[in-house]
Structure 1
Amino acid sequence: MQNLLSFLFIAYTALSSSICFGQSTSILANENGLVLQYKKLDKIGSRYDEYCKTTFDIYQVEGTVINNNSDKAAMVTAILSFEGQACNKIYSNDGPPGGEVINKLFNLDIAHLTKHQTQYWVNRFVHLLPNDNMVATGYVEVKQGEQVPEPSKYFTYELIPSKGNETNSKTEGTATVDPSEKTAISTTGEDNHSKLIVGTWTITEDVYVYKDGKEVQRGELFQSFVFRADGSGRDIGNGEEYDFKYFISGNKINLVYNDGEKSASEIVRLDGSILIFKFNFPDEDNTGIASQVSTFKKEEK
């Protein structure tokens, strides 16, 4: 009897630990050698919103794509959408500002946010080589005491065999993500970048990456860039506009504003629809931020 009680106590302790502290992995897709999986990590903190008079818990989430093929590389789009909560600010001329709690989608774009580098394979760039994987982390906010819901997914891929004479591809979508944002082949070289960047780009996501690895997504985004073929451009945001000249060298872009201010960023991705800039903060910066990753979508003509 004593042994039975001891066994039940151990089993209960293990179960309680797995419920409270476990970080179980959920497999969301597993086909053609590609695995998409998700893990909810620990709560990293809470914040009190003055407008909504509500406390929100902040959780980290992790998404992984694994290529188990030994002879095929992969181009992948893997976006996980979590329905959390946020404060919708309400402004009134007749009273103090307030807000209401609304549902908000927090998107984890694994291909965009991973630190894994795009690599060369069969005369093209790919996200994953054979037997390779990429991991990205993001965050989701929910009302205090609530749990992070299971994500919906948008998952597309193209497999590129070593001979380059056949491919397997699939598109799977949900209404939460615009299918026009499917991943395209990243291009390199000053000539390609100079041609592809021409147009109007509107910001869709802005993420601060802190030196301790934490990522914080900014809200209320109001910015557009206009890049012209003659090397001039315009920075538009918050009711203000600034003209600049831009210079591209490899994957580096420098903006020189008319007032003399300069900004240098890395072009992480540039194709027909998506532009991603990465700005590295100087080492002496005391904000704790290592870099800022900004994603823009090209406006249709």
Structure 2
Amino acid sequence: MTSNKGPATRVAVLDDYQAVAERMADWHSSEHPLDPVFFSDHLTDEEALVERLIDFDIVVVMRERTPLRAEVIKRLPRLRLIVTTGMRNAAVDAGAGVLVCGTESLGTPTVELTWALILALQRNLRIEEESLRNGRWQSGSIGSGLAGSTLGVLGLGRIGTKVAAVGLAFGMDVIAWSQHLTPQLARDRGVEWVSETDLFQRSDVLSIHLQLSPRTAGLVTERHLQAMKPTAIIVNTSRAGIVDQDALAVALGSRRIGGAGIDVFDTEPIAATNPLLTAPSTLLTPHLGYVTRQNYELFFQGAVESINAFLDGEPIRVVSRG
């Protein structure tokens, strides 16, 4: 490792909502002196963002909480490196002339939260817990069991495959579809490939596990929601933009579907006017899919590793060279 005893490299760590980034890694573990500053608030105004970052050499961004558009990046003359947690970040303009590196990440926390939402919705845990605290024993709600019901998985990648495996363990019939999923690949993963139409019509629980891209944006439309069973629930721990949010709010408000577990929103933090906040039969969480101690340690320790490797002149986990 090359020794560097010059001025400290200034590092901005953005959107540290829970004020945990500093203790999740040793930010002074190398011969490169770092001057990290941790910001727990969230800026939406780009002028304020530029003003905040103007004197920093490196920016660490948590997932896609703060967009770094090319127009912003080009106004930061000192910026030499962006580190994103994970290896994908659609909110960072990778072609803006600044090196972007990433970290490793775990998919299992999102799988676990997906099933927490499914189980809580199926057994009415929110209603029953509130009822119990208000002095009523068994409120009258009747939950639905999972064994023998149908789990539909939209997207059978790394996370979707693990969600499907849990469904099989619960004794569910598991079906799957996505634009590039083949019947053979579905069989290899122990599930039944079905058509797009069948996925929505047959699912008692529909769980979304796609990456947001131009191909998947707005993929789930009013037509798909109308095709679902009135008792079916939809769970989204992926990205809000995959689902038509207005159509989802209408389907819930009219009780066209049975409920929804939602961890991702079109604006984050969620806007106070978002109709999902008042929609019936919903369980909403503030984008907690990846939020575990183990993942945070992996994110921030990985960020320090990426910074030190960059300062050594040997960048690792390169997402884009700008």
TM-score tier by shorter-chain length is under 0.3
The normalised TM-score by structure 1 is 0.26
> Higher strand fraction: Structure 1 or Structure 2?
1
The normalised TM-score by structure 2 is 0.25
> Higher helix fraction: Structure 1 or Structure 2?
2
